[in-house]
Chains A and B, each alone.
With several copies, the nearest count.
Chain A
Amino acid sequence: MTNVAALLMRDMRLAVRLGGGAPIGVLFFLIVVTLMPFALGPDLALLRRIGPAILWLGALLASLLALDRLFAADHEDGSLDLILMSRLPLEVTVAVKALAHWLTTGLPLVIAVPVLALFLDLEPRAMAAVALTLLVGTPALTCIGAMGAALAVTLRRGGLILAVLVLPLTIPVLIFGVAAANAAVVGPMPFGPPFTILCALSLISFVIGPFAAAAALRHGLD
């Protein structure tokens, strides 16, 4: 237990010291949302319609921005060696690191939604729905990304792999996330179906992500 806690604390501390942590995350999404009107014009109705999509893209970007360093940083300074040697099962380690990453990049977004909703003037129900989809979906993005990050560390051409193999995997999550959010915001389709699929996708990636990442790290040995 101590070691899990220690790893979580340390990764979050690093995220906060290096990336600025949750407040910065919120600020980031605030800015991303502010960008939209400049691109799309002040048409609020339109903004409301694609607001959720933008939020989701912001989420994807945010998780990508920090993800490629998830293992690379530890690899470059030798920490990864010690992590591999530890008594903690590698899958757990990966999961914990992913969790720390999500807490510092995914969660802030969820927290920020109410603020952003104000700018896109979504009514409370819609806002809650969007926040809910993000709450369920962003961890999936992180887990999928973790897989890519692990590959990126072990293979010389990692970056490429990350892009070509992993990003496409995020598309279904994005699609159903946006679909569900939209259903809640503008309708007419019901919120339920896409949301359940989103949940399913997340669950799957929770399982696959850490295991795949751990496998990649192990076989990347040397």
Chain B
Amino acid sequence: MTIIDLANPSRFLAFTARVLPWLVAATVCAFAVGLYLAALAPDDYQQGATVKIMFIHVPNAWLAMFCWTVMTVAALGTLVWRHPLADVAAKAAAPLGAAFTFLCLLTGSLWGRPMWGTYWVWDGRLTSVLVLFLMYLGVLALWRTVEDPSRAARAVAILTLVGAINLPIIKFSVDWWATLHQPASVLRLGGPTIHRSILVPLLVMGLAFMLLFLTLHLAAMRNEILRRRVRTLRLMQAQAGA
């Protein structure tokens, strides 16, 4: 409504315009290095070359959870401070999160075939991630079916907050239920337990994917802001036409 609400988005647009190129560059470099290291990384003594799947599986898994975290923060922004940018951030993050979760599931089950002898088992970790994926789809559906963005934003925000309980479930499912899936070996108290030769490329790939997320998220937010501007203008036009 007020000039401020407009100012923020437009100042944000200027900001993205400046930052995006650098982010893209950084992402590309990170991936170059990461993939190179991943290629050089030695095979795991028990998992053989398939350990290479880890270099995409794990970063995607982390991002899957990170995206929902971002959405949760944005949700607070929407409900508490009613900040329009929060709505935009939440909406832009949802499809990315869905995509990364999908990749986590896919690469995971591709890894599972050789390691566990099956693509899919209904263990705590796998299923809780599947639930995360479903909730992403639910959120996407909500965004898609509600025409009025601010109304949708508030609804999605509440859903996101409640859905956040799934994150700890995912994180600790491996410890709570007896599962096939490895327990945390990187993000754990008392430091990582993986050998450096694998840990380093993993972390670099993690960084690369994180940069990728930031880039895409900024770009998506920019699109969303433009989309809302279009919507507003359309309304103006309808009113002018009346």
Residues of A within 8 A of B (CB): 17, 20, 23-24, 27, 30-31, 34, 37-38, 41-42, 44, 47, 118-119, 121, 147, 151, 154-155, 157, 161, 164-165, 168-169, 171-172, 208, 212, 215-216, 219-220, 222
Let me know if B162 is at the binding interface, CB within 8 A: yes
A219, B162: Cβ atoms closer than 8 Å: no
Stretch of B1-9, B20-28, B126-134, B216-224 lying at the A interface: B126-134
Identify 16 residue pairs between A and B in the complex whose beta-carbon atoms are under 8 Å apart, listed by A's number: A23-B141, A27-B137, A34-B127, A34-B131, A38-B122, A121-B120, A155-B142, A155-B145, A155-B151, A161-B141, A165-B159, A169-B162, A208-B162, A215-B79, A220-B151, A220-B155
Count of B interface residues, CB-CB < 8 Å: 31
Contacts A164-B141, A165-B142, A216-B155 given; 8 further ones with Cβ under 8 A? A30-B134, A34-B134, A42-B122, A147-B158, A154-B151, A164-B134, A168-B134, A216-B158
Distance (whole angstroms) from the CB of A121 to the closest CB of chain B = 7
Query: Contacts A38-B127, A155-B152, A168-B166: A161 and B159 contacting too (C-beta < 8 A)?
Result: no
A169, B163: Cβ atoms closer than 8 Å: yes
B141, A20: Cβ atoms closer than 8 Å: yes
3 closest A-B pairs by CB: A37-B122, A42-B122, A219-B154
A216–B160 CA distance with the chains assembled, in angstroms: 12
Interface residues of B in 155-196 (CB under 8 A from A): 155, 157-159, 161-163, 165-166, 169
CB neighbours (8 Å) of B79 from chain A are 215, 219
B134, A27: Cβ atoms closer than 8 Å: yes
Least CB separation from B145: chain A residue: A20
Least CB separation from B139: chain A residue: A165
A154, B155: Cβ atoms closer than 8 Å: yes
Let me know if B146 is at the binding interface, CB within 8 A: yes
Interface residues of B in 101-120 (CB under 8 A from A): 119-120
A157–B151 CA distance with the chains assembled, in angstroms: 12
Distance (whole angstroms) from the CB of B113 to the closest CB of chain A = 12
CB neighbours (8 Å) of A34 from chain B are 127, 130-131, 134
Distance (whole angstroms) from the CB of B121 to the closest CB of chain A = 6
A164–B163 CA distance with the chains assembled, in angstroms: 12
A151, B155: Cβ atoms closer than 8 Å: yes
Query: Contacts A121-B120, A147-B162: A172 and B141 contacting too (C-beta < 8 A)?
Result: no
Let me know if B123 is at the binding interface, CB within 8 A: yes
A215, B158: Cβ atoms closer than 8 Å: yes
Least CB separation from A156: chain B residue: B146
Let me know if B135 is at the binding interface, CB within 8 A: yes
A42, B123: Cβ atoms closer than 8 Å: yes
Let me know if B48 is at the binding interface, CB within 8 A: no
Least CB separation from B153: chain A residue: A219
Let me know if B138 is at the binding interface, CB within 8 A: yes
Distance (whole angstroms) from the CB of A122 to the closest CB of chain B = 12
B155, A168: Cβ atoms closer than 8 Å: no
Distance (whole angstroms) from the CB of A130 to the closest CB of chain B = 18
Least CB separation from A213: chain B residue: B158
CB neighbours (8 Å) of A222 from chain B are 151
CB neighbours (8 Å) of B134 from chain A are 27, 30-31, 34, 164, 168
Distance (whole angstroms) from the CB of B175 to the closest CB of chain A = 15
A24, B141: Cβ atoms closer than 8 Å: yes
CB neighbours (8 Å) of A168 from chain B are 131, 134-135, 138, 163, 166
Query: Contacts A34-B130, A215-B158: A165 and B120 contacting too (C-beta < 8 A)?
Result: no
CB neighbours (8 Å) of A219 from chain B are 79, 154-155, 157-158
Least CB separation from A23: chain B residue: B141
CB neighbours (8 Å) of A37 from chain B are 122, 127
CB neighbours (8 Å) of B137 from chain A are 27, 164
A205–B142 CA distance with the chains assembled, in angstroms: 22
B138, A27: Cβ atoms closer than 8 Å: yes
Distance (whole angstroms) from the CB of A178 to the closest CB of chain B = 13
CB neighbours (8 Å) of B130 from chain A are 34
CB neighbours (8 Å) of B166 from chain A are 168
Distance (whole angstroms) from the CB of B11 to the closest CB of chain A = 26
